[in-house]
Amino acid sequence: MQIPAAVEALSALAHGHRLAVFRLLVRAGADGVPAGEIAREIGVLPNTLSTHLTILGHAGLIRSRREGRSVRYSADYDGMRDLLGFLVADCCAGQPEICAPLAEIAQGCCPQP
């Protein structure tokens, strides 16, 4: 990941509704959530939500697939990992001791064998 892509992803998340949508989808897992349900949960008009979903999708943070009359959106975990990896890699450049606590956070959250 390069700076322009990172800026695009950060910009996509730098909005209350979009960050809420992203969190919702990350929690929802691979199955995803239909656009209409997202709109109700977040409390935004369907057309406005559609704009936000497009932005998140173009940033590589979510995916979509049509399912009947609705479109299910789901988190793009690869994209999310790229962004977090970019920030983590950046944070570690030069001084590993500084981001060691980060590894602990990840450790506490997703215990490794």
Partner DNA sequence: TCGATATTTCGAATATCGTCGAAATATCGA
Partner DNA sequence: TCGATATTTCGACGATATTCGAAATATCGA
Binding site for its own copies (CB under 8 A): 3-4, 6-7, 10-11, 13-16, 19-20, 23, 26-27, 29, 77, 80-81, 84-85, 87-107, 109-112
Q: What are the tokens at 80? A: 């999310």
In whole angstroms, give the CA distance from residue 53 to residue 11: 13
| Residue 32 or 79 having the CB closest to DNA | 32
Q: List, in order, residues 6 or more apart from 12 with CB less than 8 Å away.
A: 18, 22, 55, 56, 58, 59, 61
What is the CA 112 to chain-centroid distance, rounded? 22
Q: Which stretch in 11-19, 74-82, 83-91, 99-107 sits in contact with DNA by CB under 7 A? A: 11-19
Contacting positions for DNA (CB under 7 A): 11, 14-15, 17, 34-37, 39, 44-55, 64, 66, 68-71
